Structure 1
Amino acid sequence: MTRVVVLAGGVGGAKFTLGVREALARRGAPEATVVVNTGDDLWLSGVRLQPDIDSILYALAGVNDTQRGWGRQGDTERVNEELQAWGAGWPWFTLGDLDLGTHLARTGWLRDGATPTQVVERLSARWPLGVRMLPMTDAEVDTRVLLEDGRDLHFQEWWTRYRATLAPSRFDNPGVASAVPAPGVAEAIAAADVVLIAPSNPVVSIGPILRVPGVREALAAASAPVVGVSPIIGGRVVRGMADVCLAAIGVETSAAAVAAHYGARATGGLLDAWLVATEDADAAAAVEAAGIRPVVSPLWMSDVAASAAIVASALEAAGV
């Protein structure tokens, strides 16, 4: 049995997780735990939203809207239209009716005293997902964006309403210093044969996971190799506005720079190996100079088979 732990968030994380499930299924005895970013979470119209949890949940269940990249396939927006008529919620943040069903179930369970980990377990029980999902923490550590003009916005407002066009000076996760990893996260990392860092946004998807006290320590202590997959292909971000996020923390939008941002485990960082796209093969030397073993591989997640091939390359790089 190959025990795999994945750190993931966003649409890229959802596509990668589908590849993990497929690649491990071919081995006959898969065991995968996906630690999901919850920094995107928010309260809206009285309900708790967990966008990254839901993106990965819906993708694994096969009910996600692949055209929009978020929400449920074939969803309607009658309740959202009624909310807007009342002047409630955010007019630029659409909530589908089926999606709202998820949020209402989640909120009800939270109000009844369930933890986010228990809620994710209940949501996961509806469909045969093939992997175990865990939130990064049970604490509320939503991501805030401090703008250069001094304004402080929730990440979702900055990302969805303003499409990352307002210059950020930094990203914060209030409350993260007192948070702890969700039950099972540290244990899964300790028992893993390999830890994979998905090609998710390094700053606002993977970054919040790594800021939870205890996660970096668990990775440093793990006997399993840690292999990351570059979210940069051909010197560009694949999706979204990750380049704006990287620039805000002083990291160049390149495969080598993101690898250096994570750092080599041998020198106190995270990575043992780093998958670099064939389009960025010339970055391999810089990655190696940073103490990280580069692996040049096709990285476009065009379908599940392509994602599974990427995961297979990552597992091979880890020697499992």
Structure 2
Amino acid sequence: MTATNSTNLDNYPLLTILGPTASGKTTLAAHLAYELDGEIISADSRQVYRGMDIGTGKDLSDYEINDRHIPYHLIDIRDAGEKYTLFHYQQDFHRVFRDIAGRKKIPILCGGSGLYIESVLKGYRLIDVPENPTLRESLSEKTLEELTEILASYKKLHNTTDTDTKKRAIRAIEIADYQAKQQAEQLTFDPIDSLIIGIDIDRELRRQHISSRLKKRLEEGLIDEVRQLLQSGVRVDDLLYYGLEYKFVTLYVIGSLSYDEMFAQLETAIHQFAKRQMTWFRGMERRGFAIHWIDATLPLDDKVGKCLELWSVYTKGKKIG
């Protein structure tokens, strides 16, 4: 099945802002939206969930500039605990993209989930894989090491997050098993051309930003946020599945880690996550994407100015609307 669009988007411009966690993507994207009369499309795999605010760094105040609200999309669209996949994101992105373009605004894709970004820019062909209760039951008692071996029997393991937890590993096996046995109908979207701007931040500065931001989030009530999610009925396994802040703070809340253990392990995990993000972005360049890197230490006005210069060149000859 091929997706068709009622609006001709073949040459409609898209601006993409990407970079690792704690690099200042959202602030830059929001200011660009202010200058370009644009709207933000989030490319964050966890900001889709309501109630997961501090841990995901939604920073919604960034979307208020000079008493003007910058519209944003694909944030707070699902309840925490619900299943939300790359397949769902791709559909939601194209719906929002068509809507923004139809109103002759500038869509600005912003986030750090490289897989989400690449899936829409490259036009991944995805299938919606249903849950397999029988398979899940057969895997439920196996260790993470055993699950990793099973997953490796289906495919070469490139993505370590697939085996980060038992729940992730079981879902990855479920998808691999379905793909091996089914001739599934695929939803196809065309690739989208985009000006891609990356935030280039020095490794040591990135580490400093991550550590200071983690302390700030804990001071702002991250632990209470996790407690509230648990009290609202979100399962422990679901929060562990979301990883990073929600995984380690949950382990602290249920008594599996001390505060100091939680902080140290979470800080390390976020540093490792940021490194994986940069590895993905560099991989995108090897796969043919041109990313224009902007120095994260530049004053905000200078970063905005450089981006606008690149945008002017990119949109020359393109019709908006």
TM superposition score normalised by structure 2 = 0.40
Say which one has the larger Rg.
Answer: 2
